[in-house]
Amino acid sequence: MNKGANIIDGKAIAATIKDELILDTEQFFQNTKIQPKLSVIILGQDPASLFYVRMIEKTCQKVNFQFEKHALSSKISEDELLELIKQQNNDNKVHGIIIQTPLPKHINQEKIQRALNPGKDVDCFNPVNMGNLAMGNPVFLPCTPNAVVEILKRENIEVEGKHVVIVGRSNIVGKPLALILLLKQPNANATVTVCHSRTTNISSFTRKADIIVAAAGKAGLIKGDMVENNPVVIDVGTNEVEGKLVGDVDFDEVSKVVSKITPVPGGVGPVTNMMLMKNTLRAAKNMTEKVY
Ligand code: NAP
């Protein structure tokens, strides 16, 4: 396996952001006596979701945020869930709210998304926040796409005017990432191509990319022969293969022909968590400054 200097250390980037957040949170507390608080709503016992929520709790502890978990039965009614969201929306001590997906089939996801106060929607779950982003005026940036952009920024990788090819068009990764990279602002202004499962000849796009972002959820999708001219490769994919976590990029092949690459694990994942914390602090600041 390539252990060379071209491997981006997502854990180190996350550690730097964590230290910055601790200072920023301390400063905010000194000024306002408010400790940011993140509330997580989780339905059922999905092990991956429970693991993710535990990780969020630990990250909150590291950056001195309050954390509150609402673990509910997957049989809860839609009205009961809406009532809890309403209560969290109205609780001035709660700054950020996450509703863990997938939701049980009897619950209308869009109704739940729209019920969430956009000013507390630190995971950009409410379509209002996606709409604000699409209009070029985001309040929060979705955590995973924002982690990709943050990594590029901190690695001093120029994005402006570059051709970024994203593989994946989901509402939580590919599509919002394209919208962020199209923003008319520093660390954006890119030319973006979005590929998906119906794209014919993905290689013809990835070979022309300055930056490739793989977010398809397909282990080993991006092979060495799909890459030319030493691009930067950011691997968002997290797939379990024979009990091992791997990305969407065939790391052994691709890492030999790129200028920089993120590994899985230890790439985008740790930075995503920090983006969630950043959004929660932003939400707390916005509430005190009555921005939203
Ligand atoms: P998703 O909702 O399943 O979307 C996958 C996207 O990839 C879809 O747009 C799909 O195309 C496209 N796709 C699937 N197979 C393809 C193929 N063979 N060729 C080209 N495109 C293909 O997944 P997601 O939620 O966006 O997540 C993507 C990956 O990122 C997953 O592995 C997930 O676990 C990971 N992830 C990581 C983090 C993190 O923090 N590291 C956070 C979120 C997600 P269609 O639209 O045509 O179906």
- In the predicted structure, residue 134 carries a pLDDT above the cut 80: yes
pLDDT score at 124: 94
- Report the nearest-CA residue for atom 19 of ligand 1: 197
Distances (CA, A) of 193 to 114, 180, 196, 207, 214: 29, 13, 10, 12, 12
- Looking at ligand 1, which atom is closest to the CA of residue 174? 26
Same domain, residue pair 223 and 110 = no
Backbone angles phi, psi at 140, to 5 degrees: -120, 150
Report yes or no on 281 lying in a domain: no
3-state secondary structure of 145: helix
Q: How far apart are alpha carbons 140 and 119 in whole angstroms? A: 9
Does ligand 1 lie within 6 Å of residue 238's CB atom? Answer: yes
More confident residue, 3 or 42: 42
The finding on whether 167 has its CB within 6 A of some atom of ligand 1 is yes
Number of domains present in the structure of the chain? 2
Q: What's the CATH number where 241 sits?
A: 3.40.50.720
Residue 110 domain boundaries: 34-117
Question: In angstroms, rounded to a whole number, what is the distance separating the alpha carbons of residues 170 and 61?
Answer: 30
- The partner residues of 71 in beta bridges, in order of sequence, read 42
Question: In this predicted structure, what is the pLDDT of residue 291?
Answer: 56
In short, whether 174's Cβ falls inside 6 Å of ligand 1 is yes
In short, whether 195's Cβ falls inside 6 Å of ligand 1 is: yes
Judged against a pLDDT cut of 80, whether residue 1 lies above it is answered with: no
Ligand 1 atom nearest residue 199's Cα: 20
CA of 202 relative to ligand 1 center, distance in Å? 15
Mapping DSSP to helix (H, G, I), strand (E, B) and coil, where does residue 69 land? Answer: strand
Q: Could you give the residue ranges of the DSSP H alpha helices within the chain?
A: 10-32, 47-62, 78-90, 109-115, 127-134, 143-154, 174-181, 202-206, 251-254, 268-289
Give the Å distance between the CA of 165 and the centre of ligand 1.
14
Using 50, 70 and 90 to split pLDDT, how confident is the model at 289? confident
Q: How does pLDDT run across 202-257, given as a tens digit for each residue?
A: 999 999 999 999 999 999 999 999 999 999 999 999 999 999 999 999 999 999 99
| Domain match, 101 and 194 both | no
Residue nearest ligand 1's atom 48 by CA: 197
**Same domain flag for 194 and 262:** yes
Q: Do 259 and 212 belong to one domain?
A: yes
Rounded CA-CA distance 173/247 in Å is 14
Looking at the fold, whether 190 and 99 belong to one and the same domain comes out as no
pLDDT at 5 over 70: no
Asked if residue 163 belongs to a domain, the reply is yes
pLDDT of residue 3: 56
Q: Does 265 share its domain with 149?
A: yes
Q: Is there an atom of ligand 1 within 6 Å of 175 CB?
A: no
Q: What is the pLDDT of residues 9-46, one digit of tens each?
A: 999 999 999 999 999 999 999 999 999 999 999 999 99
Provide the pLDDT for residue 242.
Answer: 95
The alpha carbon of 9 and the centre of ligand 1 are apart by a number of angstroms equal to 22
Q: For residues 176 and 258, state if they share a domain.
A: yes
pLDDT of residue 48: 87
59 Cα: distance to centroid of ligand 1 (angstroms): 25
Task: Assess whether 69 and 158 both reside in one domain.
Answer: no
66 lines ligand 1 (CB under 6 A): no
Asked whether residue 171 falls in the same domain as residue 78, the answer is no
Query: Around 257, how many Cα atoms within 13 Å sit in the side-chain half-sphere?
Result: 17
CATH number at residue 78: 3.40.50.10860
Residues near 206 by Cβ (< 8 Å), separated by ≥ 6? 165, 167, 195, 212, 222, 226, 227
285 part of a folded domain:
no
Ligand 1 neighbourhood includes 247 CB (under 6 angstroms)? no
For residue 228, give the H/E element and its range. none
52 lines ligand 1 (CB under 6 A): no
CA of 103 to the centre of ligand 1 (A): 18
Contact call for residues 267 and 13 (beta carbons, < 8 A): no
Q: Whose CA is nearest to atom 17 of ligand 1?
A: 197
pLDDT digits (tens, 9 = 90+) for 102-127: 999 999 999 999 999 999 999 999 99
Ligand 1 neighbourhood includes 170 CB (under 6 angstroms) = yes
pLDDT at 2 over 60: no
Rounded Cα distance, 292 and 285, in Å: 10
Instruction: Say if residue 106 is in the same domain as residue 181.
Output: no
For residues 228-242, one letter each, b for 16 or more C-beta atoms within 10 angstroms of the residue's C-beta and e for the rest, the string is eeebbbbbbbbbeee
Is residue 112 located within the same domain as residue 148?
A: no
Euclidean distance between CA atoms 163 and 211, whole angstroms: 6
pLDDT tens-digit profile of 143-175? Answer: 999 999 999 999 999 999 999 999 999 999 999
Residues 6+ apart with CB under 8 A from 24: 281
CB of 239 sitting under 6 A from ligand 1: yes
Query: Which residue in 37, 39, 42 sits closest to 65, CA to CA?
Result: 37
DSSP string, 156-204: T---TT-EEEEE---TTTHHHHHHHHTSSSTT---EEEEE-TT-S-HHH
Indicate whether residue 237 lines ligand 1 (CB < 6 A): yes
